[in-house]
Structure formats: C-alpha cells, structure tokens
Amino acid sequence: MKTYRKELWFETPTRRAFLNITPTIEECLKQSGIREGLLLCNAMHITASVFINDDESGLHQDFEDWLEQLAPEKPYSRYRHNGYEDNGDAHLKRTVMGREVVVAITEGRLDLGPWEQIFYGEFDGKRRKRVLVKIIGE
C-alpha cells in the first residue's frame, strides 16, 4: 500500500471565505501516483472547514447568510468563548460546515458526483492556516 501526506497553506485576506481547492487536491492525487484508494482532506484548525458542495456563487452567499443567522460574528460579547478571543462564531460555523471530507479514488481520479467540488471554508482568516491531505491506496 502507498501513502501520501501533504499540508496545504492558506491565508485569506478576509475573515470569512470559501475557496475551491479541488484543482489543488487533484494535483496532490497526481503527485501520489495512487490509482485506487481513499483521500482524506481536513482542516487542521478549529475555525476552518473542508466540505463538499456546489461551486455556485449564490449558494456561497446563502451559506454566508445562513451561518450569520445561526452564529452572528457580532456582538463579540454574545459568546462566552470570547473572553480572550473574538472568534466564538468561527468555532460554531466550522462545526456546522464540518472538519473533513473523504473521497474515493478510482482509476487515478477523485470519484466525485457531477456537481461535487471540495472547498476550504475560512471563518477566522487573515492568518496562515493549514489543510492536511492524506491519501492511502495503491
């Protein structure tokens, strides 16, 4: 069995952002040389997500609006977590959007559905953060 591990770094200029990282993950898969197996991709920070959904700008605005209704950024005082930080909302948003995705690898390709794309979801940006890619198979 082959294994592959890579850390990807992101720094978004805004507090919140959704980045389509599918091409980067496909490049990792190519580098790994693995043809059949499983790919795990997870955020290594507790205020960021990796998730799969549609690359459609209206939907991304819907996510932003929905998450702000569930866990508004402000007032910062609304969160007990914000004694020393201001990112209580970001922890909650990350939990809703998920930590990781697992994708099947078939014939050397990501075995995604027709509209599935892999996204990095940032909820407390403007600093460097990591995503882990681990691939196992043969």
**Amino acid at position 95, single letter:** T
Indicate whether 71 belongs to the interface with Zn ion (CB under 5 A): no
Indicate whether 42 belongs to the interface with Zn ion (CB under 5 A): no
Indicate whether 117 belongs to the interface with Zn ion (CB under 5 A): no
Among 42, 49, 87, 117, binds Zn ion (CB under 5 A): 87
Indicate whether 85 belongs to the interface with Zn ion (CB under 5 A): yes
Task: Kindly state the smallest distance separating residue 10's Cβ from Zn ion, in Å.
Answer: 18
Indicate whether 127 belongs to the interface with Zn ion (CB under 5 A): no
CA dihedral 25, 27, 31, 35 (to 10 degrees): 70
Nearer to Zn ion, 83 or 113 (CB): 83
| HEC secondary structure over 22-74 | HHHHHHHHHHHCCCCEEEEEEECCCCEEEEEECCCHHHHHHHHHHHHHHCCCC
